[in-house]
Amino acid sequence: MLNISDNSISSNVDTTLYKSYKTLRERSTRSVMVRVLLVMAVSSLTILLLPWTQNIRSKGAVTTLRPEQRPQTIESVIAGRIEKWYVKEGDYVKKGDTILFISEIKDNYFDPELLDRTDKQKVAKQRSAESYSEKAKALDRQILALEQTRSLKLQQAKNKVRQAELMVGSDSMELTAAQLNLQVAQKRYDRMKKLYEDGLKSLTDLESREMTLQQASAEKIAKENRLLASRNELINSKVELMAIVNDYRDKISKAEADKYTAISSMYSTEADVTKLENMYKNYSVRTGMYYITAPQEGYVTKAIQVGLGETIKEGAEIVSIMPSDYELAVQMYVKPIDLPLIQKGQHVRIQFDGWPSIVFSGWPNTSFGTFGGEVLAYDNFISPNGMYRVIVIPDEIDHPWPEALRVGAGTSNIVLLKDVPFWYEIWRKINGFPPNYYKDIDAK
């Protein structure tokens, strides 16, 4: 009996008449307890000897393998005012499809003929540069003509100087001859005078000799004057030669200065032309930016800017697009202490949010609802959350990942490590030791 109540019925019932009462009274609780303890001990020993797969647990999220396949926002390169929408949320767009049209809000670009006027300015500057170039060429021709004329003038002046030098030489020799004639006439006069004084010659002969002396002296003075005139002519010729040199040097220098001024103006105008070409190209490109287009195929997921007539700034986010073609991957974060355990190609079991699963972390083969993956890469620098990011891709030899899986879904990841006995894992946990890091190396 259970003896729940204080009122016993043992005195009113003969328990010997019932077999079940007899069995219960005769059964020994000690043997039962021994059997139970023995079964528990055998079971515990068996569990302790079972293999256990060491692992690292981490949280993560579904992402895409390539950066261009991830969700992106389309931004406006220029400031403007929303004029017309061509899509709505959920629409599928192809690369180059128009999403939005905006109009100009900066007064520098209000002119509808801005491109034509800029092009006309560019053409005018180009013609101005061509004019300066032609002016420089004309000055080159002028300099060449001056140099040729200078060469002829210098040759002419040099010839004149040479003639003057020859004339000076000729007059010098004539003066020398006149001086000799004067000396001879003087000597003859002296002899004639002595003979006259001695009474050997008449007065007429003496006067004749005196006249000859006077003529020789006059001729000598005339020759000396002529020599001085020739020397003055030589000096004048040299002065004229130097004047020609200086004159043409000034003319050529002035022409060269004008030439370099024209060339400088030409280069300055060409720089202005380049600036105008740059402005024209910028205006042309800016005009094409009024229509905001899709950079790739995908779905319009969210309109960030709404309404008509709303102004947006440069770089403002307009809509977000999810590419239609992508390769899924998982990014998970591990603690710095676990990073040395991560290797490329390492196997990972992944549990996706929304997919039912039964997980035994130490016995991955007995888990249900998990999917396989392998480590593709991991960061060598720590993330802002204080952990290291690891990229996991689908395992080709395992079950394919669900087709309904979407980017951003949460994951629970199990990185599989070395197989050890279960008792060792308990001992490691109790002592706070990390999982086995060293690998067996085959002896060569």
Q: Angle 366-369-374 (CA atoms, 0-180°, nearest 5)?
A: 85
Could you tell me which of 106, 104, 98 has the C-alpha nearest to residue 82? 104
1.10.287.620, 3.40.50.300, 3.30.342.10, 2.40.50.140: CATH of 114-288:
1.10.287.620
184 vs 175, 195, 212, CA distance in Å? 14, 17, 10
**Structure-block tokens of residue 135:** 């002016």
* 233 to 94, 157, 172, 184: CA distances (angstroms): 96, 12, 14, 31
Cβ pair 209, 189 in contact under 8 A: yes
54 band by pLDDT with thresholds 50, 70 and 90:
low
Instruction: Look at residue 386 and give its three-state secondary structure.
Output: coil
Question: Could you report the per-residue pLDDT of 251-307, keeping only the tens digit for each?
Answer: 999 999 999 999 999 999 999 999 989 988 988 888 888 899 998 899 998 888 888
- Decide if domain 53-67+326-431 falls under CATH 2.40.30.170: yes
Choice among 17-31, 175-189, 205-219, 226-240 with the minimum mean pLDDT = 17-31
Q: Dihedral angle at the C-alpha atoms of 326, 330, 336, 340, nearest 10 degrees?
A: -90
* Third-level CATH fold of 71-104+290-323: OB fold (Dihydrolipoamide Acetyltransferase, E2P) (2.40.50)
State residue 156 phi and psi, 5-degree precision.
-65, -45
- What's the pLDDT at 444? 36
Closest CA to 377 of 386, 389, 366: 389
Query: Domains of the chain: which residue ranges?
Result: 53-67+326-431, 71-104+290-323, 114-288
State pLDDT tens for residues 333-348. Answer: 988 877 877 888 888 8
The helix/strand count (H/E) of the chain reads as 5, 14
Residues in the chain: 444
Other CB atoms closer than 10 Å to residue 415's CB: what's the count?
24
Q: Rounded distance, CA 358 to CA 395, Å?
A: 20
Q: Look up the pTM and report it.
A: 0.55
Reported as a single tens digit per residue, the pLDDT across 409-442 is: 899 888 776 666 666 667 666 766 666 654 544 4
Evaluate whether 240 touches 160 at the Cβ level (below 8 Å). yes
**Residue in 261, 8, 280, 257 with CA at minimum distance from that of residue 132:** 261
53-67+326-431 and 71-104+290-323: identical CATH topology: no
pLDDT grade for 168, boundaries at 50, 70 and 90: confident
